Every structure is written in structure tokens, then in C-alpha cells.
Structure 1
């Protein structure tokens, strides 16, 4: 059995199918893990969810910020933007089934192959992996429970931008979900910084990539965190992390990482680009 992680798909189903062909993915035996943003802006949101859901236990995905936004729009608490391209999903006959399947996806997954942990955006420096697992389960319970509509209605916003264990209510849930799905940079004090989304080489001096932020626990965790979300960062690897969003939506590539075996193996398929970069 082979295990793979794949970067942000963004409803680009032909590119995903081409990548699975390139890695010779066997849906009866292999397993694939997605870094989130299965939908959002790309051309085939319903078909993409239908395809990945159809893989059953051979596939799992964490929630990305575009997936969370999709849930909010479907619930009527989020405003659909012009470039979201969620209408084909929201008009689909099996909309309810697909939306409920998406809502059940986790925010964090531990993968046995190679001791990897999968998230969409990253893990903030204030949390070790035990904290991250505990807080992911806390937010997932809200997303899957009866309070989900209220959560989605209170989810938008950048505050609070600094973690404190005594945060409560929607502020606590908002920070947790923002950290797992929207974070790119942190300040020296651990505050989430959302103003800059370019590569680290062009970032202001007080912006640290989440994986290099002061106090980050990754190098000592014994696991490798796999993340997506950051197309302008691309595929990078360092102590305790790998990033896999290589901008399929923008005409870059869709990337798979083989997780089992003696060393990591990356495979990419070129993407024609369905949109220009924001």
C-alpha cells in the first residue's frame, strides 16, 4: 500500500485525475490525504467533492479556508464572492450530501506513514502537537454539532489574533479555525498576521512564516507537519514541515508527496490555470 499527500485541489478535477494517474494511484489499496481547499474558485466543485467522497476510506481531507467559507455560504451565513464559483455545488441535486460530507472533515489528521501530521495552513508556535490535536477536536465538534450555524455566523474576522488558553466562546473557536485554515505568518509574539500573503523573501521584517516563528515546536516534535494553503510559498521543506500548495488554480502545478518509503518522493502535473493570481 502506498500513501500520498496532495496539495490544494480547488475544484480542478481533471488535474487531480491526471496526478492520480501519474502516481499510479490504486483506489483499492493505496491511500491519499488532501491538504484542504477541495473547493473554491475552481471549475468543478460538485464533481470534485463527488469524486473524492467516492474514494471512501482510501481518501481523507482536512478543511481549508475555502471549504469553511463554502459551508458558511451553504448555511446562508457567508456571502458568496464573485470568484467563489460555488454555484454549481449549491445547485447540485446531491448538494446536501456533499455539504454534509465536507462538514465532517477534520482540521488535523495524524498519518502513520512516516510520522506525518496533516493540516491546511499550519500550526501556530504557541501550540505543541498535543495542543493542536486537542483544539482541532474541539473545533470539529462545533462544526459537526447543532451549533454549527451559529459558529459559521460568527466565524469571519481576524480577532483575536493571539492565542490564550482562557479564550472562550466564538472568539476561541475563531482563533482555532483561523490558525488551522488561514494562517501564513506570525509575529515574534505569536500573533497571527494576515496582511501579507507573499513569499517570505518579500515579507516585512516582523513577519515570520508559521513554521519558523519564535517558539515553534515543530523541529522537536518527531513528526513532519504537511500543509497547503500558501500558493505563493509553493513546495518547500524544512525541519518538521512540508508545504504542498503549488498553485494549481493559478497555472502552477498540482503536487503529490509519497509518504511511505525511505525518502519523500514528489510528483507534479502542470496545470493550465483557471484563474489569475489574486
Structure 2
């Protein structure tokens, strides 16, 4: 197995983040993984530092409470709280007095980027959302619609009864990578316009106006062209065009679009190079 040089930062009492070499550059790109991800699991993260160093950025990957199998019992808001802790640490003398902070999220990490930009724009200079798929649509690809609907109805009943943090049975977990999951997180993911539901293809204009329409920092949408977690009925380019029509053109990156040949995790060398071109173009476009 390859080894990687860098620095482990302890940004709070129980969490760390890994800064890849080259370290201690003035600006930082924070990598946020998706469901089941942890340090070094996103395929392209190990190649980001060689690209970002020419732009004056170190790459730091954050460990969250939701990393690996923790996502089922946490929330986007908890993720964002921990991301803000890391940002405050990096901006402190202990963390290197960093200047610009850009976030890049993979998969559900894109939802973290969206909420971070909406809730704390004063701390972030820009955001990149890669593999920005709908978890609601993805989870129903290989499961009977009637079954998911009934399970969601029962989970919502628990939430309505004040039992949102109750762990759901194995009838639920088998549909979510055998991960322990609370009633709240299930509903957040599976109910239309739930807390996690930013990227579904069927969201009404009003919902998109509350997310894309309110972003006031530069952002890049990097959607994997061959994403295996996107149902066949979804027109990826149409979804991107819809987001663009809602967003403020002052902040929507002209480099947004489909990553050529990319699977969800952007595994191939060619697709990674295209992603890196998009990221580089984005940073230069807004002088970040």
C-alpha cells in the first residue's frame, strides 16, 4: 500500500484532519468525503495536492463524526459544525494562520458544502460540489418503491412522536449499506425536501431558490458524467442547467458541468485530469 507524507492536525478534542504534503501553504482546500468515506478513501484526493500546490493551496482532508459508518446517526448540521471548527483552527496561529479556505465535497460531502456556504459564508471563500447526486433517488434505484415508501412513513411517525434519534431496525439498514441509521437521518435522506435533499431532479423551483438561489460565494458543480448512483431517468445536463438557472450568475462557475467519463468517485486518470482542470479553472476564474 502507498504511504503519504503530511501533518495530522487535531482540530478538536476527538477529531483530526490530515494535511497532505506540501503543507503549510497560505490557502487550504478542505476535502469532505461522502457516506462511508474516511481519510484517503476518495479516489482522487491523493492526487489533488500536486494540482493545488501550483495554486497556493494545501489539501486537508477532515475526519468527521459521520466518517465511515457514522453518517447514519449524525446530520449535516453536525458535519458543518465540525467543519467550522476545522476552519477556525486553520485560521488560528496554531493551525497556521491560513488565509483563503475553499471546500470540496464528494457525494454527501457536497451537501455539507452547500449547507456550509449557506450557513457560514463569512468563513469560506468558495465551494466545489463533486458527485452531487440525490441520495433520495439513489437509494430507490434497487429497492421496491412501495417498501421504501412504507419504511419512510413509519420513520416519519417516529420523528413526529419525538423519537427522531431512535435507531431503526434491520429492515431499514439493509437498504443503506448495513449502516445503523436513526429515524431522523432516514427521513432527512428519503423525504422530498428533507434536510439532505438538495440535488434531486424533481425538486420544485421554490426549494432550489432556498439553496442555489441563496448562495453568495463562488461555487463549482462537478457532476460525474457516468455516475452509477444516478437513475437512468435523470438527465444530468438538464439538472445542471436547472441549477444554473436558479443561481446568481455572479457566483456560478462557468467551469461547472459534467466530468468526462467520470464514475461517482472519479476513479480513472483521464476523468481525474478533467476534474482537476475544472477545479483549476474555478480557482483562477474567481481569483481564489
Structure whose residues are more often helix by fraction: 2
Report TM bin, short chain.
Answer: 0.3 to 0.5
Q: Which has the higher contact order (CA 8 A, sep 6+)?
A: 1
Using structure 1 for the length normalisation, give the TM-score.
0.32
